[in-house]
Chains A and B, each alone.
Chain A
Amino acid sequence: MENIRIQWHTCLMAEAIQLIVYTSFEGKRDTMHMEFPFGEDYISNLPQSIIETILTKLPLRDAVRTSILSSKWRYKWATLTQLEFDDKCVYGTHDRTLAESNLVKFVSRFLFLHDGPIHRFALSTAYLQSSPDVDQWLLFLSRKDVKELILELGEGEWFRAPSCLFSFRKLVRLDLVRCELDPPSSFKGFPFLKHLNLQQVLIAPDVVESLISSCPLLESLTLSYFDSLELNIRAPNLKYLILEGEFKDICLENTPMLVAISVAMYMTDDIAEHFGQISSCNFDKFLGGAPALQRLIGHIYFTKYMSIGNTLGKTQMTYQHLKFIELYQVSFEDMKEIMVVLRLILNAPNLQELQISGSSNSSSAMEAPDFDFWEKECPCDCTLEQLKTVKMTDMSGVPHEMGFIEFLLGCSPALETMSITPSVYVTDGRLNLLIELLRFRRASAEAEIIFVQDQV
């Protein structure tokens, strides 16, 4: 009776690893058993915690393979708590359905033979798409107090998250790629969730908002590739925010702990139209709720977005902790965008590093309409006490760019490096750029101006 059981169990396990060890066994039957004197085994008697540390550093396939090493090693892998499944777990094959079914078999059998708690389950595959097997695995995992769940399934039909996903009570990290989320009405949020990463997720906007606000411990939020999202973010513990997609409106309502923001906004026609109709100030809406901000990274169209709306009459918030600003695709032809940049810089007394990449079209902006701004209205008496590093890239040499650089050079007594990289489209104007640069006054005697040529 016992024999049958052992054989059965071994059979299951062997099925699981059959695919894995197949080629290694082929033609290499070890008929010579290694005879080592007792006690010479270096590794098998190490404490299980060390063995698990070692196995965790192996790809899952190799970790399972260790079950064949000796009788002691048979189930050392079965108590691993960090499981990372990907397409490397099964042998690559051109036949897609075969690869898919192999992966399903591997994961199912692995879970079946696994013993003990599971803290992390990550599945990242291009073969497997929406499948009832995935639903079953999620049901199994929902009973195991999983803390980290990462699901990235293949292109094609997006995976529809089953309701058991919302019963992962102990979840601390959730990463979902390409799926549909539709929480049941009884869903009250993940009480311990700290990291939420949704990429290409189909979800109703108000559901996103309520999901965010119902996770009280949320510290890091990443939303990528969302369409036309209007978002009010209420997350009292949120520290890191990464947004990428087409956003109509972002309002940070309640984010007092926010430390780092990275935003990339894609523009479509109707969003641009929408922007034309906004009256409230985007800058205030967006950054008004983030007084503790330390790092700000704004990708394409960010400054444009921020420039919309009127700020007149409102007191401007100072960002005492803002140390690092990185802005991409700032159009120095748009006065409003320049004002946004200036506002940011002037309200960040502790700013240390500034990186700006321009996006001007050099041919059209040779005559700048408001160039006297720099002489007349620009507050020259301010000093950027802590600014040490400035990096300007994609510079076309347009007047406002030069004005800005001049302004920076004149106001930064602590400046150490100013690096300027001309745009690749500028071929003739480089010399002029350089000549102008030479002329500028520098407030800092230590400042190095580095003109980066032909950056590879």
Chain B
Amino acid sequence: MSEPDVIKPEMMRSYIWLQTADGSIQQVEQEVAIFCPLICHEIHAGMGSSKTYPISLPARVNPVTLSLILDYCRFHQVPGRSNKERKSFDEKFIRMDTNRLCELTSAADSLQLKPLVDLTSRALARMIEGKTPEEIRETFHIPDDLTEEEKLEPLKNITDDPRIRLLNRLYARKRKELKEKEKLKNVEVEAEHVDDRSVDELLSFINGENGDSKEVKTAKNKKKNRRRKDQQKNAPVCTISNSSSSLNNSTKASNGISLVGHDDRVKDHCLPNINELLKLQDSEDDRFGLEDEFDDCDIGDGIDPEIKEQIDREVEDFARRLNSDWPERVQELLSLGQERRPSLYTVNGNGCSARRPSSTGLEKHEK
């Protein structure tokens, strides 16, 4: 709170009203206040001329620091002072607690009072220069929260190279391991991009069948069973598979949920499975042990009606689930798939077990 020292009626000073963040309002001589650029701007914008419209100061300025700042401004805004006078005022001015000094720096910065920021920063820099970390921490109450290894005390052996080399080696080894893991996963991902079947082919395949969403199970036995069941209706798919023999990649398919889909998004999900089953056709992969079934692929045309109904149901169910979070769905489907596998899983010669839901239905959901 700064009362003007003496009110000389003949001087007719004008006053500015300032409000700090805690709500308290005070009155300051205008020439003192405009030393702060921020306040100056506010005055030009018309604020602060009366008690009802005080200038709101930034939050970092509390009443104590405001009075310090105003003392500083009051001294320095007088033009007639010599450099020596100003310097000695500054020296005395910054003698205060560290805490207060930091608050003052922050407040001066928010008021854009650059000379004061420089002055206080220099004082703080002097407190840091040449001191040990412990001393600095004590001065500023900085918590010592680095772990021992982070601090890395200098070792007795100054030769740093061996340590760096060791870390390099460990790093490289870890990286290699990671890469291998990635490769396993990437196989599937890469396969996605290679699909260049024409949309027509897929369409015909899709429309020609009521595809089921399927799951690839690592348990090959169960798959085998499923496939055998659905072999019949996979006939049309075989033709497609022939034309898409390009989709041969090495396989190490891990779990994946896929849909055969018309829509791209669904396609991405589906294709891995398609592809991988395609690959499986050609690969020697015994996990799926599909070759036998594929060879025996019955290129028939008919679809068992009751299975068809079942498939439709499954499709709609799945389509609903498609809209929610995919990874969680994966879990759910995987667990669900245990029971539903027989109907879901259709495998044909090329593994395109497209239990294709009515394309329109899915597409609606997709959109």
Q: Which residues of A contact B (CB under 8 A)?
A: 1, 4-8, 10-11, 14-15, 18, 21-22, 24-26, 28-30, 33-36, 40-44, 46-47, 49-50, 53-55, 57-59, 62, 65-66, 68-71, 73-74
A41 to B124 CA separation, bound complex (whole angstroms): 14
Q: Choose among B122, B138, B149 the residue that contacts A7 (Cβ–Cβ < 8 A).
A: B149
Q: Cβ of A62 and Cβ of B143 under 8 Å apart?
A: no
> Are the CB atoms of A11 and B163 closer together than 8 Å?
yes
Select one of B117, B125, B146 contacting A70, CB under 8 A: B146
CA distance A70 to B129 in the complex (A): 17
Asked if B144 and A34 make an inter-chain contact with CB atoms under 8 angstroms apart, the answer reads yes
CB-based contact B117/A62 at 8 Å: no
B176 shortest CB reach to chain A, Å: 11
Docked complex Cα distance between A73 and B118 (Å) = 21
Interface residues of B in 123-181 (CB under 8 A from A): 124-125, 128-130, 132-134, 136-138, 140-146, 149-154, 160, 163-164, 167, 170-171, 174, 178
- Partner among B102, B125, B133, B152 whose Cβ is within 8 Å of the Cβ of A57: B125
* Complex-state Cα separation, A139 to B160, whole angstroms: 26
Contact of B109 among A40, A41, A49 (CB under 8 A): A49
Q: In the complex, how many angstroms separate the beta carbon of A388 from the nearest chain B beta carbon?
A: 20
Kindly identify, within residues 85 to 102 of chain B, every residue whose CB is under 8 Å from any CB belonging to chain A.
98-99, 102
Contact B130 A42 (CB under 8 A): no
> Which among A10, A24, A35, A40 is the interface contact of B133 at CB below 8 angstroms?
A24
Extra contacts, 9 of them, besides A18-B160, A25-B153, A53-B121 (Cβ < 8 A), are A4-B170, A5-B171, A35-B143, A41-B141, A41-B143, A43-B102, A54-B121, A58-B129, A71-B150
Residue of B nearest to A30 (CB): B134
Chain A residue nearest to B158 (CB atoms) is A18
Report whether A57 and B122 are in contact in the complex, using a CB–CB cutoff of 8 Å.
yes
* 29 residue pairs A–B, Cβ–Cβ below 8 Å: A1-B178, A5-B171, A7-B149, A18-B160, A30-B133, A34-B137, A34-B141, A34-B144, A36-B142, A40-B141, A41-B143, A42-B99, A43-B102, A44-B140, A44-B142, A46-B105, A47-B106, A50-B121, A53-B117, A54-B125, A55-B125, A62-B128, A66-B136, A68-B151, A69-B133, A69-B136, A69-B137, A69-B144, A70-B144
Q: How far is the CB of A142 from chain B (nearest CB, A)?
A: 28
The interface size of chain B toward A, counting residues with CB under 8 Å, comes to 43
- A316 CB → nearest B CB, Å: 40
Given A34-B143, A44-B142, A53-B121, verify A66-B128 contact (CB < 8 Å): yes
Whether A50 pairs with B137 at a CB distance below 8 angstroms is no
A57 to B105, CA, bound (A): 14
Contacts of A44 in B (CB 8 A): 140, 142
With A24-B132, A47-B106, A62-B128 as known contacts, state yes or no: A42 contacts B141, CB within 8 Å: yes
- Residues in A with CB closer than 8 Å to B98 are 42-43
A54: which B residues are within 8 A, CB to CB? 121, 124-125, 128
B142 CB, min distance to chain A CBs, angstroms: 5
Contact B143 A46 (CB under 8 A): no
Across-interface contacts of B153 in A (CB, < 8 A): 25, 29
Among A1, A14, A26, A55, which residue has its beta carbon within 8 angstroms of that of B152? A14
CB distance from B246 to the nearest CB of A (A): 36
Find chain A residues with CB under 8 A from B125 CB.
54-55, 57-58
A30 contacts B129, C-beta separation under 8 Å = no
Q: Quick check: A43 and B164 within 8 Å, CB to CB?
A: no
Chain A residue nearest to B147 in the complex (CB):
A71
- Asked whether A41 lies within 8 Å of B133 as measured between CB atoms, the reply is no
Task: Find chain A residues with CB under 8 A from B142 CB.
Answer: 34, 36, 41, 43-44, 69-70, 73
Q: Which 8 A-B pairs have CB atoms at the shortest separation, nearest pair first?
A: A14-B152, A57-B125, A42-B102, A43-B140, A24-B132, A53-B121, A36-B141, A40-B141
Contact B141 A10 (CB under 8 A): no
User: Across the interface, do B144 and A33 meet the contact criterion of CB distance under 8 Å?
Assistant: yes
B120 to chain A, nearest CB (A): 9
A50 touches B105 (CB 8 A): yes
Least CB separation from A63: chain B residue: B128
Chain B residues with Cβ below 8 Å from A34 are 137-138, 141-144
Give the CA-CA distance A5 to B172 in the complex, in Å: 11
CA A92 to CA B350, docked complex, whole Å: 75
How far apart are A14's CB and chain B's nearest CB, in angstroms?
A: 4
Q: Contact at A4–B133, with CB atoms within 8 Å? A: no
For residue B177, give the distance in angstroms from its CB to the closest CB of chain A: 9
Residues of A within 8 A of B109 (CB): 47, 49-50
Question: CA–CA, A53 to B150, complex, Å?
Answer: 26
Cα(A326)–Cα(B27), bound, Å: 52
Nearest-Cβ distance from residue A53 to partner chain B, whole angstroms: 4
**Given B150, B163, B174, which contacts A1 in the complex, CB threshold below 8 Å?**
B174
Q: In the assembled complex, which residues on chain B have CB atoms less than 8 Å from the CB atom of A6? A: 150
The residues of B that contact A43 with a CB separation of less than 8 Å are: 98, 102, 124, 140, 142
Contacts of A15 in B (CB 8 A): 160, 164
Question: Cα distance A422–B271 when bound, in Å?
Answer: 101
Quote the shortest CB–CB distance from A331 to chain B (angstroms). Answer: 38
Least distance between A238 CB and chain B CB atoms (Å): 30
A74, chain B: closest CB distance, angstroms: 8
B122, B137, B149, B174: the one contacting A10 at CB < 8 Å is B149
Contact assessment for B118 and A53 in the assembled complex, using a CB-CB cutoff below 8 Å: yes
